[in-house]
Amino acid sequence: MGFWGGVERGLEVAKKDQLDKDQMEIASRREERAEATFKLREDEAAIQRMKDIKGMFSGGGGFEALSIGSGGGTSKSTGETTEHMMDVMSVMGVTDDALVRISSSGGTAAAGRKNLAKVYDIATAHNKALRSGKYQVDETGIGEIITQMINDAVYTQPVTKALDEDFWTNFEERTSMTISDSERNTIGESYVQPGYVSFPNQPVLRDRASIGDVEKAQNFVNQKLVAEGTNEINKLLEGSNKLIQLQADGPPYAGEGASAEQEKAALTRIGHLQKFYQERTISIELARKEAAENNFAAIYNLYGREDILNPIYNQIGTFDPGILPDYNPASIKPINVGDKLTYGELYSQGFLKIGQVVIYEYTDPETGERRAVQETVGSTNE
């Protein structure tokens, strides 16, 4: 028994020694982890301090350059990467030139990413709102709108500032901080104060018009068209009376001493004007008669000009055949004005308005060929 008792006591001592050794190793490792954690937190605190220091005089420029890891630039609201933001806006239709311009603005990579994120947030918010169905959808696509916004943006240039002794002295006085030589060396001898960008022409959302709003605008335009017809009837009557008086006075119509060719031209002018007054009067009277029965198709096609239809456009956003069925630009009947000279005379008298379509006969002075010419009043073809 004495022998086995000694063996058991020896084993217990050995177990105790091993346990003590294991506990010491665990304690040592715990201490190493604690030191590593402390060092990591100390490094993070130092980095955060450097970011805070630089942020005080650079307005945030360069913060990302001091961050741990690459990350890429992100949108504050969504956390999207630079590459993803550019891909999304490219799909929207924003041009590559515009994306390059905004992402390279500000003078630093960080400022460029920040400005790109601004555009991304505006673009995605506007696109989401339009898709909600609560707002009018313009014919101009979101890509074209955002591209124009970028092109119209106001950019300020970045400024490089030296971090000399005077700067640090002034900085420490203003902030009540002491900046060590090590921190100064880490920050560097200069910094770039980034340029900024602002967007004065951001896309605007317009509430979708209610049925009542559209009806109100339609009624306004209808009344305006009828009034326009009445005014023109009075002018046509005045012009017709002048022609009647001219014909009553008899020839010569081109004035005393006029040649036979001049007299022929005068008679042609009278014929064109007389035909215009008669045909135009009949068209307007028929349109007014139909309008009195709440059928405005004919009068819309007589006066379907953009300046008159703007009140409805402003309500519905764009031309919508479903809301404005009476007006179809393609169905407007051209006004026959006879020839080029009569065209000019009628325009000067106020019978023809910008946007109306006219047709007249044109004789080529070199070949003598006659052909019908159709033009829109106010176009560059005149």
Whole-model pTM?
A: 0.46
Residues in the chain predicted with pLDDT less than 70, given as ranges, are 1-79, 136, 139, 208-211, 213-214, 304-332, 380-382
User: Where does a domain end: 295, 315, 333?
Assistant: 333
In b/e form, how buried is each residue of 140-173, taking b as 16+ CB within 10 angstroms?
eebbebbbbbbeebeeeebeeeebeeeebeeeee
Residues 287 and 176 placed together within one structural domain of the fold: no
The whole-number pLDDT of residue 77 equals: 47
Residues 186 and 258 placed together within one structural domain of the fold: no
Reported for 295-299, long-range contacts at CB under 8 A and 24+ positions apart, including other chains, are 295/326, 296/222, 296/225, 296/326, 297/326, 297/327, 299/225, 299/226, 299/229
Domain of residue 13 covers 1-29
The whole-number pLDDT of residue 151 equals: 92
Measure the CA–CA gap between 315 and 144, rounded to whole angstroms. Answer: 22
State the total domains in the chain: 3
Residues 193 and 220 placed together within one structural domain of the fold: no
Distance set, CA 303 to CA 5, 221, 233, 327 (Å): 122, 10, 13, 10
Residues 95 and 136 placed together within one structural domain of the fold: yes
The whole-number pLDDT of residue 366 equals: 84
Q: Is residue 180, in this structure, part of any structural domain at all?
A: yes
Q: Is residue 362, in this structure, part of any structural domain at all?
A: no
3-state SS assignment for residue 281? helix
Residues 220 and 105 placed together within one structural domain of the fold: no
| β pairing state of 335-339 and 357-363 | parallel
Residues 189 and 254 placed together within one structural domain of the fold: no
Q: Is residue 191, in this structure, part of any structural domain at all?
A: yes
Q: Is residue 157, in this structure, part of any structural domain at all?
A: yes
User: Where does a domain end: 198, 222, 247?
Assistant: 198
Residues 81 and 153 placed together within one structural domain of the fold: yes
Q: Is residue 279, in this structure, part of any structural domain at all?
A: yes
Residues 140 and 171 placed together within one structural domain of the fold: yes
Q: Which residue has the tokens 């007389």?
A: 274
The whole-number pLDDT of residue 187 equals: 75
Residues 182 and 222 placed together within one structural domain of the fold: no
Residues 215 and 194 placed together within one structural domain of the fold: no
The whole-number pLDDT of residue 198 equals: 87
Q: Is residue 364, in this structure, part of any structural domain at all?
A: no
Interacting residues of 14 by C-beta distance below 8 A, sequence separation 6+: none
Q: Is residue 343, in this structure, part of any structural domain at all?
A: no
The whole-number pLDDT of residue 267 equals: 87
Q: Is residue 340, in this structure, part of any structural domain at all?
A: no
Residues 222 and 324 placed together within one structural domain of the fold: yes
CA count, 13 A, side-chain hemisphere, 225: 34
CA count, 13 A, side-chain hemisphere, 25: 6
Residues 295 and 328 placed together within one structural domain of the fold: yes
